[in-house]
């Protein structure tokens, strides 16, 4: 299969992407978080082809992407007020809500569970595409199972060319890290995956404390210990330990650092990333993709600050790492 790249700034290309989706084809789409691999959420054959392209086990459920709050009742039932409040505040944006599914939600999308994960993405071309095709789009991140999420078209193309029909090019993802997933099927809302919408932001709107379990048994592939992995093994080191280790940095090890003292060192094994949280998240997967494309034996990552602001980044790094000091 030939994978075509469609420019989202061009109306004909957007129309073509919409037609492909209506015909049950697979199109990788830009969102503000990471690129998604989209198909018509009501078409079981199209949804099945997402799993085949990704190599993902069929019982791992998918997020359904919609234009906004007005579509919520099509996909979910028994929607609590808290869910509506959050959707009205943060949509379109990087917050996925887990709710009780409506009959419209097919079992291939929900992994045979009675819940559905829904979000309205903020990327303008994705919004335009959703309006053009009039569908709910089931879309996991557009990467092979258990590997790094894509934040640029080149990442998607390298991993999935030949396996999908098209990629809608919407430029680089502005947030660079997957959405926050919040379970609203119980009285106390709980975070299933930390992301760009923080616990504090949610608590401020709901005026209650939400639950933020270290581990949970809900079936969510992003919850597997070893997920979000580059091919090169990651080792996490705190700044002071890394300063010592850098004195004898093996030639085949790459280092990802944000600290000013460390960024002063200039050699092509030391890859700099921002110390500003939003910039760090935007660039993290991009830097890991770049390092992965070279032949390093290991990646040593300087451990970011262990505070709530960095919760989502630390979550992803912990899952990706082989070792954490
Ligand atoms: O930012 C994002 O959320 C991106 C963009 C493309 O929207 N999507 C994304 O999808 O990260 P994915 O499939 O890579 O991760 C979504 C997670 C999966 O771990 C999946 O298991 C979980 O959401 N999930 C989806 N539906 C669920 C359900 N009904 N119950 C529990 N977990 C669910
Ligand atoms: Mg994923």
Looking at residue 265, its pLDDT comes to 67
Residue 285 alpha carbon to ligand 1 centre in Å: 17
The DSSP line for 81-97 is HHHHHHHHHH-SSSEEE
Instruction: Please state, for a pLDDT cut of 70, what percent of the chain lies above it.
Output: 95
The atom number, within ligand 1, closest to the CA of 63 reads: 25
Ligand located closest to 32 CA = 1
Secondary-structure breakdown of the chain: helix, strand, coil percentages, each rounded to the nearest 5 = 35, 20, 45
Looking at residue 225, its pLDDT comes to 56
Q: Assess whether the C-beta atom of 60 lies below 6 angstroms from ligand 1.
A: yes
Task: Please give the model's pTM, rounded to 2 decimal places.
Answer: 0.96
Contact 312, 177 (CB under 8 A): yes
- Nearest residue CA, atom 21 of ligand 1? 220
Looking at residue 40, its pLDDT comes to 98
Looking at residue 323, its pLDDT comes to 82
End-to-end alpha carbon distance in the chain: 45
Q: Assess whether the C-beta atom of 185 lies below 6 angstroms from ligand 1.
A: no
Handedness of CA 242, 246, 250, 255 (dihedral sign): positive
Looking at residue 221, its pLDDT comes to 52
| CA 278/CA 171 separation, integer angstroms | 18
Q: Assess whether the C-beta atom of 141 lies below 6 angstroms from ligand 1.
A: yes
The DSSP line for 161-185 is TTTSSEEEE--S-SS-SPPEEEE-S
Looking at residue 105, its pLDDT comes to 97
Nearest to 253 by CA among 159, 177, 322: 322
pLDDT in tens, 175-197: 999 999 999 999 999 999 999 99
Q: Assess whether the C-beta atom of 39 lies below 6 angstroms from ligand 1.
A: no
Q: Assess whether the C-beta atom of 41 lies below 6 angstroms from ligand 1.
A: no
| CA 45/CA 278 separation, integer angstroms | 38
Residue 240 alpha carbon to ligand 2 centre in Å: 32
Residues of the chain with confidence (pLDDT) below 50: none
Looking at residue 216, its pLDDT comes to 62
| CA 197/CA 213 separation, integer angstroms | 16
Contact 149, 156 (CB under 8 A): no
Residue 220 alpha carbon to ligand 1 centre in Å: 7
Residue 99 alpha carbon to ligand 2 centre in Å: 19
- Please state whether beta strands 137-138 and 298-302 pair in parallel, antiparallel, or not at all (unpaired): unpaired
* Residues 6 or more apart whose Cβ sits within 8 Å of residue 276: none
Q: Assess whether the C-beta atom of 76 lies below 6 angstroms from ligand 1.
A: no
The atom number, within ligand 1, closest to the CA of 141 reads: 14
Q: Is 214 helix (H, G, I), strand (E, B) or coil?
A: coil
Residue 140 alpha carbon to ligand 2 centre in Å: 6
Looking at residue 109, its pLDDT comes to 98
Looking at residue 215, its pLDDT comes to 66
């Amino acid at each position: 299969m030939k994978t075509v790249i469609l420019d989202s700034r061009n109306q004909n290309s957007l129309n073509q992407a919409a037609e492909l989706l209506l015909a049950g084809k697979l199109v990788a789409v830009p969102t503000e978080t990471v690129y998604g691999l989209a198909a018509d959420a009501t078409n079981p054959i199209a949804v099945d082809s997402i799993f085949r392209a990704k190599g993902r086990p069929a019982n791992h459920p998918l997020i359904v992407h919609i234009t906004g709050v007005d579509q919520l009742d099509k996909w979910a039932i028994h929607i609590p007020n808290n869910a509506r409040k959050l959707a009205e505040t943060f949509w379109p944006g990087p917050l996925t809500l887990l709710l009780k599914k409506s009959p419209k939600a097919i079992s291939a999308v929900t992994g045979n569970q009675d819940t559905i994960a829904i979000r309205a993405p903020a990327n303008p071309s994705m919004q335009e595409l959703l309006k053009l095709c009039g569908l709910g789009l089931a879309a996991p991140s557009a990467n092979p199972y258990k590997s790094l999420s894509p934040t640029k078209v080149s990442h998607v193309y390298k991993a999935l060319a030949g396996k999908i029909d098209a990629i809608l090019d919407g430029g680089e993802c502005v947030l660079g890290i997957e959405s926050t997933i919040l379970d609203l099927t119980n009285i106390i809302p709980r975070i299933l995956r930390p992301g760009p919408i923080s616990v504090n932001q949610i608590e401020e709107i709901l005026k209650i404390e939400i639950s933020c379990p270290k581990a949970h048994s809900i079936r969510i592939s992003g919850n597997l210990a070893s997920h979000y992995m580059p091919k090169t093994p990651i080792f996490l080191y705190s700044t002071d330990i890394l300063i010592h280790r850098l004195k004898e940095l093996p030639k085949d090890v790459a280092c990802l650092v944000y600290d000013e003292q460390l960024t002063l060192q200039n050699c092509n094994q030391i890859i700099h990333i921002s110390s500003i949280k939003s910039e760090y998240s935007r660039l993290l997967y991009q830097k890991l993709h770049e390092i992965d494309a070279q032949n390093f034996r290991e990646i040593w990552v300087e451990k970011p600050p262990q505070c709530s602001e960095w919760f989502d980044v630390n979550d992803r790094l912990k899952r990706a790492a082989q070792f954490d000091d």
